[in-house]
């Protein structure tokens, strides 16, 4: 997943994927509702120290790698430390952002295997030794933040041993117990399933739902990492997730992409392509029916599509793209999103009764013939200002927005 690819090798993979998947993509059916600001989620790691609140809109905030998992909130049995989470909740309220709090990871004192290695502290990946410790923790959090934290996620990437060494059956018990407590304490709060990751997480999700996990959750969470493939691969992954949900009688539940970015190719071919990947990810996630998408992460440069520079403040091209695609999507309705035989994507928006179109081609530069019936007057590139339409339009991997004249 983290191996280095040459630029030529990378684009060969991209082309191979797109060609092989050209007939595999089912038609995209976007939700027929106004796109809410809550669709645009973000991870922010260090608002308590080095990171100012983002200068672009953030509708939802997932608190992962933000030092508020169970080991931080209850470092010793019965001794809770809520100061950091209190500050986060207050900050989110100031900026009208909702919070998704992952509950997973066990403190060493509660862990069933306290000396076991994990990505984080020793013992963190294991389930708690005593289920009562879990119940006490969940109830304490849900009670303190009743009406202030609107969603809880049971565990992070349960299909990866370094994040979760518990069995599906053990996670199922944790999900059931947490769900019952949260819904009892705060009926308005949403419970999100443990979020498996990548295509190899599909088997985990299938087993979890087959064994009845869906009855305890309000939302199916998943991490739509597809690297080194392009964002279009997310569409196939979501379609597979939805099929698993259908097989288990859970297809009516919403899907949230609670984490995604790229870790390869490394280095990434260009900042412009990174911006294009972020924009296409958000557009395609909505087009395939994902209800929320939490980008990982605002102040993390270990990922390949970074949104800020070293100061955690100055926007990269990808950070600018996040703000632009937010403006394109939020408040509009996506009436359709289609891909033609040449792999050109056309997503039609409706904003206050007026149509707009987002267009791109992931394969490379193309000339796009705009239908005369669209009456397009202006073109807005992803990373540039809008300009009047003066002739043929060139498209490529970076989406553009086509807007008709106001008197069409």
**Quick one: pLDDT band at residue 338, thresholds 50, 70, 90?**
very high
Region of 381 (left: φ > 0; alpha: ψ -120 to 50; beta: rest) is beta
pTM: 0.93
CATH number of 7-332: 3.20.20.80
Question: Coil, strand, or helix at residue 181?
Answer: helix
- Which among 276, 236, 242 has a CA at the least distance from the CA of 256? 242
Please check whether residue 110 is in contact with residue 77, taking contact to mean a CB–CB distance below 8 angstroms.
Answer: yes
C-alpha–C-alpha distance, residues 121 and 142, integer Å: 24
**Quick one: pLDDT band at residue 407, thresholds 50, 70, 90?**
low
pLDDT in tens, 207-249: 999 999 999 999 999 999 999 999 999 999 999 999 999 999 9
Phi, psi of 251 (to 5 degrees): -65, -20
Residue 328 CB coordination number (10 Å)? 22
pLDDT in tens, 150-204: 999 999 999 999 999 999 999 999 999 999 999 999 999 999 999 999 999 999 9
10: pLDDT strictly greater than 50: no
Residues forming beta bridges with residue 192, ordered by sequence position? 153, 219
C-alpha–C-alpha distance, residues 139 and 128, integer Å: 15
5: pLDDT strictly greater than 50: no
Domain boundaries, given as residue ranges, for the chain:
7-332, 337-404
pLDDT in tens, 358-398: 999 999 999 999 999 999 999 999 999 999 998 889 999 99
Token readout for 225 is 């990492």
CATH number of 337-404: 2.60.40
* H or E element that contains 379: strand 376-381
Q: Which residues of 282-306 are buried (b: 16+ CB within 10 A; e: fewer)?
A: bbbbbbbbbbbbbbbbbbbeebbbb
Domains 7-332 and 337-404 share a fold: no
Please check whether residue 222 is in contact with residue 236, taking contact to mean a CB–CB distance below 8 angstroms.
Answer: no
Token readout for 54 is 């983002």
- Which among 291, 324, 332, 284 has a CA at the least distance from the CA of 307? 324
6: pLDDT strictly greater than 70: no
- Which among 89, 111, 85 has a CA at the least distance from the CA of 98? 89
């Amino acid at each position: 997943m983290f191996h280095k690819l040459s630029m030529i090798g990378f684009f060969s993979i991209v082309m191979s994927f797109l060609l092989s998947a050209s007939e595999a993509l089912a038609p995209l059916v976007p939700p027929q509702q106004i796109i809410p600001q809550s669709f645009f989620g973000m991870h922010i790691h260090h608002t308590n120290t080095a990171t100012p609140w983002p200068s672009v809109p953030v509708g939802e905030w997932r608190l992962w790698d933000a030092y508020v998992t169970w080991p931080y909130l209850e470092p010793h049995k019965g001794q809770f430390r809520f100061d950091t989470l209190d500050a986060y909740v207050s900050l989110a309220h100031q900026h009208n952002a909702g919070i998704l709090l992952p509950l997973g990871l066990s403190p060493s004192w509660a862990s069933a295997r306290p000396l076991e290695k994990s990505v984080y502290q020793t013992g963190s990946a294991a389930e708690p030794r005593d289920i009562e410790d879990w119940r006490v923790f969940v109830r304490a959090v849900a009670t303190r933040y009743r009406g202030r934290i609107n969603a809880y996620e049971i565990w992070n990437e349960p299909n990866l041993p370094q994040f979760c060494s518990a069995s599906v059956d053990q996670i199922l018990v944790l999900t059931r117990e947490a769900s019952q407590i949260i819904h009892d304490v705060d009926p308005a709060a949403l419970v999100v399933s443990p979020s498996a990751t990548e295509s190899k997480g599909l088997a985990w999700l299938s087993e979890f739902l087959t064994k009845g996990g869906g009855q305890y959750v309000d939302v199916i969470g998943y991490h739509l990492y597809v690297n080194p493939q392009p964002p279009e691969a997310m569409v196939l992954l979501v379609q597979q997730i939805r099929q698993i949900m259908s097989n288990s009688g859970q297809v009516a539940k919403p899907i949230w992409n609670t984490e995604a970015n790229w870790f390869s190719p490394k280095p990434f071919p260009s900042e412009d392509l990174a911006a294009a990947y972020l924009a296409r990810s958000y557009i395609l996630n909505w087009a395939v029916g994902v209800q929320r998408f939490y980008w990982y992460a605002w102040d993390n440069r270990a990922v390949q599509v970074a949104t800020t520079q070293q100061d955690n403040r100055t926007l990269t091209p990808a950070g600018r793209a996040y703000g632009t695609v937010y403006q394109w999507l939020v408040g509009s309705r996506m009436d359709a999103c289609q891909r033609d035989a040449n792999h050109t994507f056309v997503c039609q928006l409706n904003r206050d009764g007026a149509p707009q179109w987002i267009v791109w081609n992931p394969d490379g530069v193309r000339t796009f013939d705009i239908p005369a019936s669209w009456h397009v007057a202006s073109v807005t590139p992803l990373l540039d200002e809008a300009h009047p339409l003066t002739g043929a339009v060139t498209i490529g991997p970076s989406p553009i927005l086509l807007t008709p004249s106001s008197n069409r």
